[in-house]
Chain A
């Protein structure tokens, strides 16, 4: 149990376009989902916390108008990178918790974004 999927696994896009990444909890309801970004040889940096039915909470320094997060259901959260630029190229990983009382996070497989 506790499987999180992410789609697409990799995407290449042109500078200036928008890219949407989906994160799904397949066998549990995720009240909270998290979006991380990981640059090569670096740690996972939390971008935002997403609670179902409410606005995402963004970490300091993360532009909410550039990284749009929607958590419309208990099994799906989406991250849209708007007007992508080469510096947005990174590995984006989502994770999900099954409830406020749960500490364990289950990670998706990640999405490799390359902006040309």
Chain B
């Protein structure tokens, strides 16, 4: 069925180090892969997205890579800072019935000072 799996569920890294979060999806028709950052009690904020016609996209310290063959995509945060601490969600569209987005289970990222 429709599914987006996300790993790890929690991640703790030293400030300045890199963080990587991985997701896999099941719908081979998916062609848009957003990543959201959610702080406690607030709405998810789109931080980066990638479409299936490219394999990598970068925006300052954030990058996303996509492997359509393997159906997985990853979020990379370099030079992590305390304000990067939040919950991150990957998502992928599902086109089987209606155009909707399914979210991964989330990764709680903690940056250690």
Q: Which residues of A contact B (CB under 8 A)?
A: 32, 34, 41-46, 49, 57, 91, 93, 97, 100, 103-105, 107-110, 112
Other 15 A-B pairs with CB < 8 A, given A103-B34, A105-B46: A41-B108, A42-B105, A43-B103, A43-B105, A44-B44, A44-B103, A45-B103, A46-B100, A49-B100, A91-B41, A97-B99, A103-B51, A103-B93, A104-B46, A107-B45
Chain A contacts for B20, CB-based, 8 A:
none
29 example contacts (A-B, Cβ-Cβ < 8 A) are as follows: A32-B99, A34-B101, A43-B89, A43-B103, A43-B104, A43-B105, A44-B44, A44-B89, A44-B103, A46-B100, A46-B101, A46-B103, A49-B100, A57-B97, A91-B41, A93-B43, A93-B44, A100-B99, A103-B34, A103-B49, A103-B93, A104-B34, A105-B34, A105-B46, A107-B43, A107-B44, A109-B42, A110-B41, A110-B43
Name the residue on A nearest B32 (C-beta).
A103
Return A2 CB to nearest CB of chain B, in Å.
10
Whole-angstrom distance between the Cβ of B29 and the nearest chain A Cβ: 12
The residue in chain A whose Cβ has the minimal distance to the Cβ of B46 is A104
A37 to chain B, nearest CB (A): 12
Closest B-chain residue to A34, C-beta based? B100
A43 to B: closest C-beta gap in Å: 5
CA A78 to CA B44, docked complex, whole Å: 20
Which chain B residues border A42 with CB–CB below 8 Å? Answer: 105-106
Contacts of A34 in B (CB 8 A): 100-101
How far, in angstroms, from A107 to B32 measured CA to CA in the complex? Answer: 17
Write out the residue numbers on chain A whose beta carbons fall within 8 Å of the beta carbon of B108.
41
